[in-house]
Structure 1
Amino acid sequence: MQQELSILETLQGSALLITGATGSFGKALVRHILDHHDPVRIVAYSRDELKQYEARHHFGDDSRLQWVIGDIRDRERLVSAMHGVDHVVHAAALKQVDAGERNPAEFVRTNILGSQNVADAALEVGVRKVVALSTDKACRPINLYGATKLVADKLFIAANLQTARHQTRFAVVRCGNILSSRGSVIPFFREIGRVGKPLPITDKRMTRFWLSLDQAVRFVVESLELMQGGELFVPRIPSMRLVDLAEAVVPDALMYEVGLRPGEKLHEEMIHPDEAPNVIRLGNRYVVQSTFSDDWNYRPPADALPVPDGFSYCSDQNDQWLSVDDLRSMLDRTGDLT
């Protein structure tokens, strides 16, 4: 309860800007903040006018929402949109692994250069806190998407080195696969299951980290409260087997393997053993502390616990797993089984 009150105090009456605000995560974050944290203003920043039109109707033209059409590739537009903003959640990105392999320059322009624009604009305007969303694919990346997100993570952490001249603080949240997010495999499985065909499975051994959209939103809001600057927050979440997800979506379906796609991993990793010396466990999260943290007087929380030497956090070695029934229950609550 005390933590929730603290979070309310941070966001109460504040102004926030959310990049990628019309995406699956962005809309869920807007809804959560409007319902639970009473902001004075949310700047919903995205580049798709149709999605903004649909979102305005979805939120009933709430007067606390300011809809701004803009691309994170446009630094000047970001600066203009951030005036008077206290906090920024950076969720905009190009995310499709296959598309990234075929269009690397576009991913670099959005995920790297666009992220640098967000950081630069926040510093120029004097935003208090910035949280950037990352992905498990940024840990030891083998695909272009993951590589661009790793660079973006480094840009945001290093932005804290500007603290001598600016008060803005930056942190990163590294999440696994989010249920109901755009591009999820679930609608693909469901559509094939409706016509009674076997489900194509990349590899029957494949595992992934998994969390609900609501869990992801709450974790980001909590991280915004907890951050001092320079942290990379990783949630302690369960893993799931791809074959169990397929069974949850289409019970008793036949399955066949199609092999790994370009840039795809058999298992995902969120913390690499080489990061272990800088990792602490803090309740329901791990925190990868910046190696530069002494530059801005970062102090680990008193209740933080160190992790063992050589610690890693990989989806196939997790101590928490979702069963078929667990997955089906999650899908049922979100309407993904209909």
Structure 2
Amino acid sequence: SGKLPTRFSVVRYGNVMGSRGSVIPLFMKQRESGVVTVTDPAMTRFFLTVDQGVKFVIDSLFTMIGGELFVPKLASCTIADLAEAIAPGCEQKIVGLRPGEKMHEILIPEDEARLTLEFPRYYIIKPTLPFWANTAAELNGKRVNKQFSYASNTNPQQMGVEDLRNLCAPFLEQAPEAQQQLCPA
């Protein structure tokens, strides 16, 4: 109660499945017509569930020193595979990139590699603050190489259609009538 200094840290992660603006409800709605719109079949994104996001934030609260940025190790996928998982057999209409939209998501760009430490389930991007020079996190984390970047297209943990179906199952179960209206083969 006022005796401890306030500390701030940041979490940076990918798309939260089922959140406002998520493509999942859009694909579920579009599959009723038999056609889902896909920006580019090779486009990739990181995905996590709400529960994964909440757990990561809570874990970060217990780990934080202050000033650092936490990035979880997540699975990524192509948008085409996500569309196929949610709307199997539907036509995928390619609509192209919108202005400002990127083909791939980058959670840690190469220019932040010099500040990045790797841990088993996450990365920490260190702040350039003097008190961070010899912290416990510095001693336990492994420095990434100077050319490192954490991008959805080069992520070694890629989800396929079946993985995505399993991950999306709770959203599909919320709309059982929509689940019955799968696209014709």
Alignment TM class, shorter chain as reference = 0.7 to 0.9
Choose the corresponding residue for 1:220, options 24, 42, 57.
57
Query: Which residue number corresponds to residue 178 of structure 1?
Result: 16
Following TM superposition, by how much is the alpha carbon of 1:262 offset from its aligned partner in structure 2, in angstroms?
1.9
For 2:6 and 2:167, how far apart are their aligned partners in 1?
A: 37
CA distance in 2, matches of 1:311, 1:271: 8
* Map of 2:183 onto structure 1: none
Alignment match, 2:46: 209
Question: Could you say which residue in structure 2 is the equivalent of 1:145?
Answer: none
Question: Greater helix percent: which structure?
Answer: 1
Distance change (3 Å), C-alpha of 1:259 and 1:295: same
Residue 161 of structure 2: aligned partner: 324
TM-score after normalising by structure 2: 0.87
Q: Provide the rounded CA distance (Å) in 1 between the counterparts of 2:51 and 2:97.
A: 29
Q: How many angstroms does 1:300 deviate by?
A: 3.8
Q: How does 1:177-326 map to 2 (within 5 A)?
A: 177-196=15-34, 198-292=35-129, 294-295=130-131, 299-301=135-137, 302-326=139-163
Residues paired across the two proteins, number: 174
Query: What are the superposed Cα offsets for residues 220-274 of structure 1, whole Å, 9 maximum, x if unpaired?
Result: 0000110000110000011111001100111011112111112210001011111
Distance 1:297 1:277 in 2: 13
Aligned with 1:322: secondary structure? Answer: coil
Contact in 2 for aligned 1:186/1:336 (Cα 8 Å): no
Q: Find the residue that maps to 1:223 and give its secondary structure.
A: helix
Within 2, Cα distance between the matches of 1:304 and 1:213? 26
What is the deviation of 1:337? 6.0
1:189 and 1:127 map into 2 onto residues whose CA distance is: 50
Alpha-carbon distance in structure 2 between the residues aligned to 1:170 and 1:127: 16
**Any conservation in 1 of the 2:126–2:132 contact (CA below 8 Å)?**
no
What code does the residue aligned with 2:85 have?
A: A
Normalising by structure 1, we get a TM-score of 0.49
Counterpart secondary structure, 1:234:
strand
Deviations 1:18-55 (A, max 9, x none): xxxxxxxxxxxxxxxxxxxxxxxxxxxxxxxxxxxxxx
Name stretches of at least 5 consecutive residues in structure 1 with no aligned partner: 1-83, 85-125, 129-166
CA change 1:127–1:288 in 2 (3 A) is: farther
Q: Distance in 1 between matches of 2:153 and 2:65?
A: 31
SS at 2:140 equivalent: coil
Deviation at 1:213, TM superposition (A): 1.1
Aligned-residue CA RMSD (Å): 1.8
Percent identity for Structure 1 against Structure 2: 43
Q: Is contact 2:73-2:121 (8 Å) kept?
A: yes
Q: After superposition, give the CA deviation of every residue in 1:60-103 in whole Å (9 maximum; x if it has no partner).
A: xxxxxxxxxxxxxxxxxxxxxxxx7xxxxxxxxxxxxxxxxxxx
Give the distance between the partners of 1:300 and 1:259, measured in 2 at CA.
46
Deviations 1:159-206 (A, max 9, x none): xxxxxxxx111100001011111111111111111132x211111110
SS in 1 for 2:11: strand
Question: Which structure exhibits the higher relative contact order, with contacts defined as CA atoms closer than 8 Å and separated by 6 or more residues?
Answer: 2
* Kept in 2: contact 1:178–1:213 (CA 8 A): yes
Contact 1:279 1:288 in 2 (8 A): yes
1:121 alignment partner in structure 2 = none
